[in-house]
Structure 1
Amino acid sequence: MNPIKPSTFPTILRNSHRTLRPQSFVPTSYQCWRSYSAQASPSLVRATSLPAPHTGRIRVLTLNRPSARNAISAALLNELHAEVAAIAAERGEGDTRALVLASDVDGTFCAGADLKERRGMSAEETAAFLSLLRSTFTTISTLPVPTLCAVAGTAFGGGLELALTTHLRVFASTATVALPETRLGIVPGAGGTYRLPGLIGLARARDLILTGRRVDAPEAYFLGICDRLVQVLPEDEVEKVEMEGLDPDRSAAAMRQARDVALTTTVEVARQICDGGPVAVRLALQAVEACALGEKAENAAYEQVLKTEDRMEALRAFAEKRKPAYKGR
């Protein structure tokens, strides 16, 4: 298996994306959303399919709202929900072997909720937005396929909460995350108060949520917020990028490089996961997610995988000293 080079993958992504949106995705219970979602506009969530090892595809969803640093507007949320719902509808038995979330915007993953849009919403519209935001994030967190997130820039508020919905997070060394809601007079409202403690522990999560402070990539890796940390720039270059007004062309190129390397690394991790037996990966994920059930969950998963064709193929390949050819059965 040849890894996709950092210099080539972004080009593949830009040239091959296609979006699978319903023609008119408007929550039927909230007609007030039409003012936000009915207008024709460029795709805010770009969808790409890359071939996975053995069978199926790796689905890549990239946020693409550069004018607002990928802030989650109602229109962006509609598109993200539609894409995620399509994957969820497969129930782990379709072509999607893994999902990668990323950004098409240099310097940012997601700035969180679109506060400018929120200021113009009525109470009913705000309730509708929050309901769909939470259900979309919950759907991502419960997908039966491995989910990964590439973060190379800022992920604040709802942006970090979106990253927390995935099973694995890959950070470039230029990433910065925070849950700053208390400084804005609110609290995290899309899973931050329970997903972050579940990931890094109550004491550490309490610190980040109460102070709202920003955490750079090395500290995020130390705390356990990210699973892989990719150094993409020398430390002195990182400092220059962080200083506004210093060689903007060089800074822009550095941010683009960070985003490309983070995404390429994340896709490669997804490929490594998908190189395993499709059924085995799915059941292993199911068992790990049900770790509270302990031995019962593990035994149930093991009994299911014992009966698969892939397991027999693995035994034959081991005996014949070759790589197994899994078929997902």
Structure 2
Amino acid sequence: MTTPVMLRETRHGEGDHVVELVLDRPEALNAISTAFAEQIASATRRLADDRSVRAVVLSSAVERAFCVGADLKERNGLSDAELMAQRVITRGAYGGVLALPVPALAAIEGFALGGGLELALACDLIVAGQGAQVGLPEVSVGVIPGGGGTQLLTRRVGWSRAASLIFTARRVPAQEAAALGVVDEVVAAGSARDRALELATLIAGHSPVGIRSAKRAMRLGADVDLATGLEVEDAAWRTTAFSADRQEGVSAFAERRRPRWPDV
């Protein structure tokens, strides 16, 4: 039997440099099944190798939810061996989003729970609609956030705030999530996708070499001491300083025109 397509891809903007990955499993509120995880992993691997991509947006075709997390109905029927086999696939999905070399943005409307919030946390920026609710409820069903949540949320908001959210398994509304630092921006309900695409388009207009190098420096430098981090930054700077993008950027500034970035 043919596996239904649960992840749709759309290109946006001048040059089609912004890629939108739309979660589209409405009957399950985008719960992540094994097949769904495979599709996310496959898409992100392909996009990571596509040098024309300058920004990626994760959104949902489902009005009520960005993603409600793991497909617990499927998981309930798995043997221990099958669960471990699934684990490899789901880690590939979350890791694939995290490993994107270009900025990734999540557009959250409705529920972003468990693995759904973890997909968003794997992105660099999170935009939430006013009616969104986020949470990591895994401890309430006997597991822990296993899609990067214990690590990414702690790095994003700090130990005590992450501990409060993970240990209590509570859901928080968009405005509280923004105050805690879980999401970066709250917009009117129903407009998170538009805002995320707006930001992605702005990002895509800047130097591809510069953006990729900045993200790499920030990611690699986040968990090392300052001296090592500054060396990481210096290596990334050298990549940009002697690139065609730097030459074009300086020329465009001097000539008061929009840069025409070379193909990367």
Same fold by TM-score greater than 0.5: yes
Matches of residues 26-65 of structure 1 in structure 2 within 5 Å? 39-52=1-14, 55=15, 57-65=17-25
C-alpha contact 1:310 1:328 (8 A) present in aligned 2: no
* Residue 77 (structure 1) aligns with: 37
Q: CA RMSD in A?
A: 1.4
- Rounded to whole Å, the distance in 2 between the matches of 1:107 and 1:182 is 23
1:168 is matched with which residue: 117, 125, 133? 125
C-alpha contact 2:112 2:135 (8 A) present in aligned 1: yes
- Rounded to whole Å, the distance in 2 between the matches of 1:205 and 1:114 is 24
Tell me how far 1:328 sits from its aligned partner. 4.2
* Residue 262 (structure 1) aligns with: 192
Q: Which runs of 5+ in 1 are unaligned?
A: 1-38, 233-257
C-alpha contact 1:170 1:262 (8 A) present in aligned 2: yes
2:67 is matched with which residue: 83, 106, 110? 110
C-alpha contact 1:153 1:175 (8 A) present in aligned 2: yes
SS at match of 2:92: helix
Q: Which runs of 5+ in 2 are unaligned?
A: none
Structure possessing the higher radius of gyration over alpha carbons: 1
C-alpha contact 1:102 1:109 (8 A) present in aligned 2: yes
Tell me how far 1:110 sits from its aligned partner. 0.5
* Residue 181 (structure 2) aligns with: 224
C-alpha contact 2:128 2:185 (8 A) present in aligned 1: yes
Greater shift, 315-324 or 162-171, is seen at: 315-324
Tell me how far 1:97 sits from its aligned partner. 1.3
* Residue 272 (structure 1) aligns with: 202
1:298 is matched with which residue: 219, 230, 233? 233
* Residue 10 (structure 1) aligns with: none
- Rounded to whole Å, the distance in 2 between the matches of 1:136 and 1:42 is 17
- Rounded to whole Å, the distance in 2 between the matches of 1:306 and 1:200 is 33
What do the CA deviations read for 1:154-206 (whole angstroms, capped 9, x no partner)? 01111111111111111111110011111112221221111110110000000
Tell me how far 1:132 sits from its aligned partner. 1.1
- Rounded to whole Å, the distance in 2 between the matches of 1:322 and 1:95 is 22
* Residue 318 (structure 1) aligns with: 253
Matches of residues 58-207 of structure 1 in structure 2 within 5 Å? 58-90=18-50, 94-207=51-164
- Rounded to whole Å, the distance in 2 between the matches of 1:148 and 1:228 is 11
Tell me how far 1:99 sits from its aligned partner. 1.2
Q: Which amino acid aligns with 1:110?
A: C
- Rounded to whole Å, the distance in 2 between the matches of 1:81 and 1:303 is 31
What do the CA deviations read for 1:271-313 (whole angstroms, capped 9, x no partner)? 1111111111111111111223321111111111111122122
SS at match of 2:70: coil
TM-score in terms of structure 2 length: 0.93
- Rounded to whole Å, the distance in 2 between the matches of 1:125 and 1:321 is 59
Q: Which amino acid aligns with 1:82?
A: S
What do the CA deviations read for 1:82-108 (whole angstroms, capped 9, x no partner)? 111212334xxx211111111100110
- Rounded to whole Å, the distance in 2 between the matches of 1:102 and 1:217 is 16
SS at match of 2:126: strand
SS at match of 1:290: helix
Tell me how far 1:56 sits from its aligned partner. 5.3
- Rounded to whole Å, the distance in 1 between the matches of 2:263 and 2:163 is 42
C-alpha contact 1:56 1:97 (8 A) present in aligned 2: no
Tell me how far 1:322 sits from its aligned partner. 1.8
- Rounded to whole Å, the distance in 1 between the matches of 2:142 and 2:159 is 22
- Rounded to whole Å, the distance in 1 between the matches of 2:33 and 2:11 is 24
TM-score in terms of structure 1 length: 0.76
Q: Which amino acid aligns with 1:81?
A: A
SS at match of 2:75: helix
SS at match of 1:159: helix
- Rounded to whole Å, the distance in 2 between the matches of 1:198 and 1:230 is 24
